[in-house]
Amino acid sequence: MDFKNVFKHFKFSVIQYPRREEKYGIDMPNTVYELADELFDEYKNWFRNNYVVWGHSMGSTVGYEVVKRCEEILHNSPIAFFSSGASAPCNTITSKVRLSIDSDKDFEELMEQYGGIRDELLHNKDFCDYFYPIIRGDMKILSDYRDDEYIKLRCPVRLIEGTEDTCVIDKWKFYTDFDIDVKYHNGGHFFINDHKQEIADYIEKSAIEVISRKTGTSGYNKVT
């Protein structure tokens, strides 16, 4: 999911999780809270500037927790928080997904259901041996997470969803006192792969509108 070349006005940066690429040798923390703590500590200098946060799927939940830390510790909210392919933090993962983590057969069926992985890779042993433990680890800490505090973000929330996805988004309204906007695209959980330019344009346009309302200007601000 390479979005680096589709943003026209913003600098796009990827926050990398443990067990990926340069962090492959670093273990995934045991909870979403610990992961958010680690990511905040690592990237907190980014969050001292103007910024937006966009998280897809699990990244939405982790992003929500990171933004909470930005607001509590740095007293610096994002211009807007963007969530795609994700339910509200109080309803992040279904019992079906939770049960599928420990069953090889159910897990494979779940991967096919989610999509986003080419068929030939789903049946490639080397690929599955490498990536499935990583994905399972992600799902494990997400399955243990459930927010019941409803701490509101001090910024607008923008939801980007797939028409065929199964996310529960109605409770996002409890997570901000600002406006919420929902943008739909055709597709399932990984609809973002087929709508990169439209999503990037929407994120930039929405963030610029928020900036304009705050400053009374219509110019482009450099945003991380």
Comparison of pLDDT for 186 and 130, the residue scoring more: 186
Mean pLDDT within 42-60: 95
Instruction: State the pLDDT confidence band at 128, using cuts at 50, 70 and 90.
Output: confident
Share above pLDDT 70 across residues of the chain, in percent, rounded to a whole number: 84
Mean pLDDT, the chain, integer: 86
Comparison of pLDDT for 101 and 173, the residue scoring more: 173
Instruction: State the pLDDT confidence band at 99, using cuts at 50, 70 and 90.
Output: low
Range with the largest mean pLDDT of 16-20, 62-66, 123-127 = 62-66
- Residue 220 exposure: Cα atoms within 13 Å on the Cβ side: 11
pLDDT at position 217 is 52
pLDDT at position 29 is 93
Asked if the model's pLDDT at residue 44 lies above 60, the reply is: yes
Is-above-0.85 flag for pTM? yes
- Of 81-85, 122-126, 219-223, the one with minimum mean pLDDT is 219-223
Among 115, 56, 53, 52, which residue's Cα sits nearest to residue 84? 56
Instruction: State the pLDDT confidence band at 115, using cuts at 50, 70 and 90.
Output: low
Q: 165-211: per-residue pLDDT in tens?
A: 988 899 999 999 998 999 999 999 889 999 999 999 999 999 999 99
Comparison of pLDDT for 35 and 21, the residue scoring more: 35
pLDDT at position 101 is 65
Q: CB of 89 within 8 A of CB of 66?
A: no
C-alpha distances in Å from residue 69, one per residue of 12, 65, 152: 21, 7, 12
Q: Burial letters for 46-84: b for 16+ Cβ neighbours within 10 Å, e otherwise?
A: ebeeebbbbbbbbbbbbbbbbbbbbbeeeeebbbbbbbb
